Structure 1
Amino acid sequence: MSDAPIKLTGPGTVPGKAWWAPTMGRMTARARLATTAIAAALLVITLVVWNLPTVSQIVTGDSEPALTAREEELLAENQRLQDELDVSRSQSAALRGVVADEQAARKKGEDAHAQAQAEREAAGSSGSGSGSGSSRSSGSGSGSGSSAARSGSTGTGTAAASAPAPGTEQGAANPQAPQPADPAAPGPQTPPTAPAKAELLDPDTRYFGMYTEQAPFNWATFDDAAQQVEHRQNMVGYFGGWDQDFRANAVTRSWERGLLPMLTWESRPINAQNDVVEEPDYTLPKIIDGEFDAYLTQYARDIVATGLPLAIRLDHEMNGTWYPWSETTASGGSINGNRPGDYVRMWQHVHDIFEANGANEYVIWVWAPNIINNLPASQQGLDTLQGLYPGDDYVDWVGVSGYQRPPIRDGNDSTFAYTFDRTLNQLRQLTDKKILLAEVGASETGGTKPAWIRSFFQGFDPGRNDDVIGFTWFNLAVTTYVSGQLSTNDWRVGSRANSKAAFADGIADPARNFGGESLRAAEEPSTAQAQLTAPTAPAATAAPSPTATPEPAPTATATPDPTPAPTPSPSTTGGTP
């Protein structure tokens, strides 16, 4: 086939001209028709392109399409929530800063106090107060023999006139021991003594304990509460975290007053926020795997070195969902990387370390779940507590946290029975260990507090709950959110006059067998009582003998630390305040 180009010729064509080229100055009909079609197509394409949304935005300068009313509403709501979150974060950061400053100030004050005390002891030549040990030792388990020492350390009833502000010292409630003019005269203080653990486990009288803002590092509010309810405590509760070493002064200061100290020991930092359940550095598997063994070993050895008993409520309210040591949510999801069975393994691991170092000779282990009333239905059954109980070989007392708190649910008749009975029945199916109501309180919100307090003490009437050996009252006011509204729950015994009167009357009933010293005005003794307290010396000597009215030793007067910090409060969610 030839490669030469083919030339088209014919009627109406001009050699060398294309079909669309004008002939003799004019376009052919075919050319005009084609040109018109092309122009129309270009016009259509132009209109389509210019009306595309992307091109329209570029030309007009609009960066986003117009929002619908619903989208604008959602954006506004999102911005409002973001603003609230920013404010909350700022407040949280500020509060953490305040707590950190107070912790540092307290530590500085404690160091200064300890140094001053050491200097006084070094300057002394001989001890006085030799009788303090026997008076404290004889009754701290039963509350009978320690009252003299406690009364000596708190002075007269003038403290009840007005409650001291948090963090302040109250002279009338915490008098200093008289200081002679010569600073070298005071001798070294006699170390406090305490009953053996076995005596404390099964006391002759019930425990009346209390958590206050600063005890046992400062006794001002603790003593004021005792004055308000006309009865001294024989137990003191306080909180500690796993970023803190063992605080021997908390134990020694308690036993100087004949008080059993109970540490609520939380496996998280002491300043952790209560609404944070994820603490990746403090998971149960990490504890079980030994990451805290060195810390736990030293803690146990420090307890042995102190040589005084204390109760430890380790990782309480584990059956709830508001702490990082809980295992699962109501739907079965993991909390903080924990697994079913981890809580028991953690508890046994800690207990074994203490046992290996001799600390269990001094520690009363308190396993304390929350009352089941307000838990999700899936966590109210006996099987939940059974899966969390470490076993009788690892527990000394069984405890429970329970509050009369808003919102008051249907069926809540403000009674001991409603609050505690269901939980106590389950605990008794688990074990026959003695039971301590380890954290209790009632809020003024709702107006049911006086009635609840009266019923609460009726729960200690003879024959009702004889295996319950006492309670520890949460004596603080806490501001939290209740049903989305900011609300202050005043758990304090003196929140109102009628609540205070109900408490004072309830604990004063001798049939309920509470230890500690009654501060109610003493009645004139009967003839028989007078004969029992009369001296054996000749009748001319009317004053009682020293043994009948023992004077407290100077060591019973525990001087408050100069700059104490508030004790961390428990969780503001779930079953606690």
Structure 2
Amino acid sequence: MSSTNRTLSWWAHSSTRARFTLAGAALIILALISTSVVVWNSPSNPIAKAVAAVSKEDIAQQKVLRERNALLSQVVALQKQLVAKQSNLSTTKNQLASIQQQLWSAQGKLDAAAAAAAGAAVAPVAPVKKPTVKTAKPAVVPAVVSAPSKAAIMAPTSPYFGLYTEQAPFSFSSYDAISDRIGSSPNVVGYFGGWDQTYRGDVVANSWKRNTLPILTWESRPINASNAVVDEPDYALPKIIGGNFDAYLHQYAKDIVATGLPLGIRLDHEMNGIWYPWAEDDGKGKSINGNNAGDYVKMWQHVHDIFQQEGANALVVWIWAPNIVNNLPTTHKTSAYLDGLYPGDQNVDVVGLSGYLRPAYKPDNNFTFDYTFGPTLKELRRVGHGKPILLAEIGASETGGHKPAWVTSLFSGLNNPANSDIIGFVWFDLAVTTYTEGQLGTNDWRIDSRPETLAAFIAGLNSPGSRFHLLPR
């Protein structure tokens, strides 16, 4: 056969060899296929490991995404519930708190799911395209704080029992300690503030969280000023009237409105005395701190007008509270003098007083409610034209041993129907050394200054026919 009629493979020089060669190639191919199958199915195969890792990651991410989407749906549903509950004025605080807690819990799970998705990768792989999910930020819901209206505050169903203590309302530890000893819950907290301090809306809110009316004694001087100093020229009444503090007053009023909760303000109390820089004269015709006759009323009206401009008067119970007249200079005891310090019915909501059983005692002092408060109550009813009365700051000294009997008389007087216009009292529960009413002295005004005094207080608060209806501790 000629070479032109034979078709031979390039790797074989005869047909027989070509057939053997083809058979060998087939065997080699089968061997390679078998080896590949074994390798691919081997647990130690790195390629198989990578593929398995990718598959596992895809499954894990899909699971996380499903959980995440489910949680997102839960968050959205809870947010809708929260908005609906907030819009319903009758919704209780507990319901809102429960929904808020569920929302926080769901959001926490959502954050955890997102973290799990971020950390699910086992080996570097191509990113998996995730569905786009748009979620609204969880609503920031402030704690629900409720408070009665201003009108309700001025007409309580039973008289107030309040306390001034060492730290309250910034800390209620001492306030709660004496309350526990008394066995009844006070519903007023008194505190002091100066004109070098901004408004503390958090303090007001924290008080109302305890269903407690905050009453601020607001002094037009620095908070740390000494009671022994009456000269505060930067805070003279003419400067306040002239506008030196207008920016401060406007901001203070705005902050009250922003907080949205009521409070009592006892502005520049005991103005008929001679021991504060807002007093007009020393009882002998000499000006105190550059003030003039009539300046106190002008100052009060100026502050009240600014609050009116800012809308704050709807939230402020203005308490005008002179000192009891018993130990004042003769010229300051008259009705005419007190009339000259009254800002007018339209600028005052409650009339009040400061009054203590304080040594040295006059010979005619019989240590009773009527002796201590009677003359001043008569003046308040006259000048205030029937406004509610608050004993805004009271206390009694242990000096002389008369305190338990005086406390008993205090509650007898408060429970007397003739004094039904008295809407409560605030006790100064501190032992302090102060310069007051022209005298420097240390007195223990605390309710539990002696066991006998504490017992008299508890008995008076819970006496038969008592007007006080307080929650037990």
TM-score, scaled to structure 2:
0.70
Tell me what 2:271 maps to: 318
Q: For the residues of structure 2 that align with 1:506 and 1:456, how far apart are their CA atoms? A: 8
Pairs within 5 Å for 1:186-201: 190-201=143-154
Contact 1:234/1:515 (8 A) holds in 2 = no
Whether 2:207 is the aligned partner of 1:254: answer yes
Residue 497 (str. 1) matches residue 463 (str. 2): no
1:255-304 per-position Cα deviation (integer Å, ceiling 9, x unaligned): 00000100000000001011100000001000111111110000000000
Render the CA deviation track for 1:201-223: whole Å, top value 9, x for unaligned: 11111111110011111111101
* Structure 2 partner of 1:284: 237
Name the CA distance, whole Å, in 1 between partners of 2:295 and 2:386.
24
Q: 2:424 aligned with 1:470, yes or no? A: yes
Match of 2:442 among 479, 488, 503: 488
AA aligned opposite 1:470:
G
Q: What's the counterpart of residue 64 of structure 2? A: none
Q: How many residues align?
A: 353
Instruction: Report deviation, 1:487.
Output: 4.8
Aligned to 2:348: 395
Q: What's the CA shift for 1:464?
A: 2.7
CA distance in 2, matches of 1:384, 1:413: 27
For residue 328 of structure 1, what is the aligned residue in structure 2?
A: 281
Q: Aligned partners of 2:246, 2:188: CA distance in 1, in Å? A: 29
Partner of 2:260: 307
Distance in structure 2 (CA, Å) of the matches to 1:374 and 1:289: 33
Q: Which residue of 1 aligns with 2:51?
A: none
Corresponding residue of 1:107: none
Q: What displacement does 1:429 show?
A: 1.2
Matches within 5 A, 1:207-356: 207-356=160-309
SS in 2 for 1:403: strand
The amino acid that maps onto 1:455 is S
Contact map agreement 2:163 2:175 (CA 8 A) in 1: yes
CA distance in 2, matches of 1:363, 1:493: 29
The aligned residue for residue 443 of structure 1 is 397
Counterpart CA distance in 2 for 1:481 and 1:286 is 25
> Which residues in structure 2 correspond to 1:169-208 (within 5 Å)?
190-208=143-161
After TM superposition, give the deviation of residue 511 of structure 1 in Å. Answer: 2.4
Residue 191 of structure 1 deviates from its aligned partner by 2.5
Aligned partners of 1:508 and 1:518 also within 8 Å: no
Secondary structure in structure 2 of the residue aligned to 1:471:
strand
Deviation track 1:118-166 (CA, whole Å, cap 9, x = no partner) reads xxxxxx9998xx99x98999xxxxxxxxxx9xxxxxxxxxxxxxxxxxx
User: Residue 326 of structure 2 aligns with which residue?
Assistant: 373
CA separation of 1:215 and 1:461: change in aligned 2, threshold 3 A: same
When structure 1 is superposed on structure 2, of 298-307 and 427-436 the one drifting more is 427-436
CA distance in 1, matches of 2:223, 2:289: 17
**Structure 2 CA distance for aligned equivalents of residues 438 and 287 of structure 1:** 25
Q: Does the aligned pair in 1 maintain the 2:323–2:353 contact within 8 Å?
A: yes
**Kept after mapping to 2: 8 A contact 1:436/1:470:** yes
Letter in 1 for 2:402: T
Q: Secondary structure at the match of 1:389?
A: coil
Q: Structure 1 stretches (4+) deviating beyond 3 angstroms?
A: 124-127, 133-137, 180-185, 480-487
Instruction: Determine if contact 1:136/1:257 at 8 Å carries over to the other structure.
Output: no
AA aligned to 1:340 is: A
Shift of 1:482: 9.7
1:411–1:255 Cα change, 3 Å: same
Q: 1:386 aligns with which of 318, 339, 351?
A: 339
Aligned to 2:121: none
Q: 1:488 to 1:247 in 2, by over 3 A?
A: same
Residue 425 (1) aligns with residue 378 (2): yes
State the one-letter code of the partner of 1:372. Answer: V
Per-residue CA deviations over 1:461-516 (Å, capped at 9, x if unaligned) read 24131111100000000124799997531101111100000001111136232243
Distance 1:267 1:432 in 2: 28
CA distance in 2, matches of 1:136, 1:419: 45
For structure 2, the residue ranges without an aligned partner over 5 or more in a row are 1-77, 95-103, 110-139
Query: What does the per-residue CA deviation read over 1:40-88, in whole Å, with 9 as the maximum and x for residues that have no partner?
Result: xxxxxxxxxxxxxxxxxxxxxxxxxxxxxxxxxxxxxxxxxxxxxxxxx
Report Cα offsets for 1:416-457 as digits up to 9, x if no partner.
000000011111111210000000000111111001000011
Q: 1:394 to 1:487 in 2, by over 3 A?
A: closer
Whole-angstrom distance in 1 between the partners of 2:297 and 2:352 = 16
Partners of 1:487 and 1:419 in 2: how far apart?
19
Higher relative contact order (CA 8 A, sep 6+): 1
**Structure 1 136/281 Cα, relative in aligned 2: closer, same or farther at 3 Å?**
farther
Partner SS for 1:446: helix
> Taking structure 1 as reference, are residues 510 and 278 closer, same or farther at Cα in structure 2, changes over 3 Å only?
same
**RMSD across aligned positions (CA):** 2.9
The answer (yes or no) to whether the contact 1:231–1:508 under 8 Å persists in 2 is no
Contact in 1 for aligned 2:274/2:438 (Cα 8 Å): no
Distance 2:452 2:157 in 1: 30
Distance 1:390 1:514 in 2: 31
Write 1 or 2 for the structure with the bigger share of helix: 2
SS at match of 1:252: helix
Residue 407 of structure 1 contacts residue 482 of structure 1 at CA under 8 Å; is this kept in 2? Answer: no
Q: Is the 8 A contact 2:274 2:437 kept in 1?
A: no
Letter in 2 for 1:360: N
Specify the code of the residue in structure 1 equivalent to 2:288: I
Give the counterpart letter for 1:236 in structure 2.
V
After the TM superposition, which of the residue ranges 354-363 and 481-490 deviates more from structure 2?
Answer: 481-490
Q: 1: CA distance between counterparts of 2:190 and 2:404?
A: 23
Q: Is the 8 A contact 2:351 2:380 kept in 1?
A: yes
Amino acid at match of 2:215: M
Percent identical:
56
1:404 positional shift: 0.3
Larger-Rg structure: 2
Q: How do residues 49-128 of structure 1 correspond to structure 2 at under 5 angstroms?
A: none
Q: Is the 8 A contact 1:442 1:491 kept in 2?
A: yes
Find the residue that maps to 1:464 and give its secondary structure: helix
Q: Corresponding residue for 2:122? A: none
SS in 1 for 2:214: strand
Letter in 2 for 1:363: V
